Amino acid sequence: MNICRDGMEHETASPTIEEIGKFFADYAACLLGCGATCIRIEKNIGRMAETLGVEADMTILPSHILMTVNSKDGLATWSTNHRMHHTGIDYCINTKLSRLSWAMADGKIGFREAVAEAKRIVGEQPAPEWVVLLLASAANTSFCRLFGGDGESMLLVFLATMVGYRLKQVMLAAKVDVRVVFLCSAFCSSVISAGGHLFGWGSTPEVALGTSVLYLIPGIVYINSVSDMLDGHYVCAYSRFMNAAMLTACLSLGLCAGILLLGLSL
Amino acid sequence: MNNHSVIIWVAVTVAVPLFLVAKALWQLWRVNGFRLNRLFELGKEKEIFYVPGDDYFNNDEDEYMS
């Protein structure tokens, strides 16, 4: 596949360096925004670059991608800076975009089909809010059971998670700062689950109180931070870790505020 | 168990879900309010079935009702 910018006529199907660079930058920004690790982004881009017969170098920053694409003969180059897409962590998109890179590497689709498919994948509707709400509540209730909670505690955690998670969804949709969202959601969940302490419901009220805020823990961000650190992407690793630590601090503040306001002695 | 703790617990446990339900209902009304209004107008058959220029209402009533 010849890729040149010398003004000579080429096959209309051959992508230019500019098109490849723009696609790679957009693709990498989408992956970064939906929670992929830096090594995954590098491998996917590298795979597609090899298939297209170009060399792609990128700098992955916490909120930006600096992408440079060079032709193998060195005659053409394209650099671009792309902002990360703040789409929220979505491993479904992550998996589909990775699969797309493999499909291109295996020769199943060409460049233009890949561009169209990537656009379709990113534009897909996310999972319904109510389904996510119910499943998150059920998952947190399971956590309560795992830590030894009884039936009453599980019910309290289910209700507390449902209210807190729904509040999180509503506040995030209203573009409230994510740290304030975490603080308010943790406060609501901890107050509701403290009913076990206040009214003597169940025999494990402390488990209900402790597990009611677990749905807010940014686990994926912590894991990605460690993965980036192991791969040598220290800037991204530190950024992700600080982001996760900030959210954990806000979550803890909300929990402590709930405990202090209710005057609980643990 | 302090009184103020119970008051705060009741306030949060009642107010926050009420706010969320009210917001959901308001969004439902905002999206579907027009259709809900039309539901209330089903009893007004004349307005729904009348077509300008239609002769049904000028015909013999027995013929219309058959």
Give the DSSP letter string of A13-58: TSPPHHHHHHHHHHHHHHHHHTT--HHHHHHHHHHHHHHHTEEEEE
Quote the domain boundaries for residue B46. 17-65
pLDDT tens, position by position, A78-92: 999 999 877 788 889
Confidence of residue B46 (pLDDT cuts 50, 70, 90): very low
CB contact under 8 A, B8 and A170: no
Asked if residue B10 belongs to a domain, the reply is no
CB contact under 8 A, A163 and B4: no
Same domain membership, residue A159 and residue A65: no
Q: How many residues does chain A have?
A: 266
**Token code pair at residue B56:** 């049904």
Asked if residue A2 belongs to a domain, the reply is no
The b/e string for A13-25 (b: 16+ C-beta within 10 A; e otherwise) is eebebebbbbbbb
Closest-CA residue in chain A for B9?
A: A191
Instruction: Please say if the pLDDT value at position A12 is more than 70.
Output: no
Instruction: Please say if the pLDDT value at position B18 is more than 50.
Output: yes
Instruction: Work out the percent of chain A whose per-residue pLDDT is above 90.
Output: 76
Model-level pTM greater than 0.90?
no
A108 contact partners, CB below 8 Å, separation of at least 6? none
**Token code pair at residue A136:** 């998150």
All residues of chain A having their beta carbon less than 8 Å from the beta carbon of residue B17 are 163
Asked if residue A7 belongs to a domain, the reply is no
Same domain membership, residue A222 and residue A105: no
Residue whose token pair is 């807190």: A164
d(CA A215, CA B8): 23
Confidence of residue A13 (pLDDT cuts 50, 70, 90): low
CB contact under 8 A, A192 and B12: yes
CB contact under 8 A, B13 and A191: yes
Instruction: Work out the percent of chain A whose per-residue pLDDT is above 70.
Output: 95
Confidence of residue B50 (pLDDT cuts 50, 70, 90): very low
CB contact under 8 A, A170 and B23: yes
Quote the domain boundaries for residue A57. 17-122
**Token code pair at residue A59:** 């700098």
d(CA A83, CA A163): 34
Would you state the pLDDT for residue A3? 45
The b/e string for A132-158 (b: 16+ C-beta within 10 A; e otherwise) is ebeebbeebbebbeebebbebbbbbbb
pLDDT tens, position by position, A187-232: 999 999 999 888 888 899 999 999 999 999 999 999 999 999 999 9
Asked if residue B11 belongs to a domain, the reply is no
Long-range contacts of A81-84 (CB under 8 A, 24+ apart): A81/A25, A82/A25, A82/A26, A82/A28, A82/A29, A83/A29, A84/A29, A84/A32, A84/A33
**Token code pair at residue A149:** 């909670």
ipTM of the shown complex: 0.71
Interface test with A, best of B1, B7, B9 (most A CBs within 10 A): B9
For the beta carbon of residue A73, count every other beta carbon within 10 angstroms.
10
End of a domain among A122, A143, A170? A122
Asked if residue A6 belongs to a domain, the reply is no
Q: How many domains is chain B built from?
A: 1
Mean pLDDT, range A43-56, rounded to an integer: 94
Mean pLDDT, range A176-194, rounded to an integer: 95
Asked if residue B2 belongs to a domain, the reply is no
Rg (C-alpha) for chain B, rounded Å, is: 25
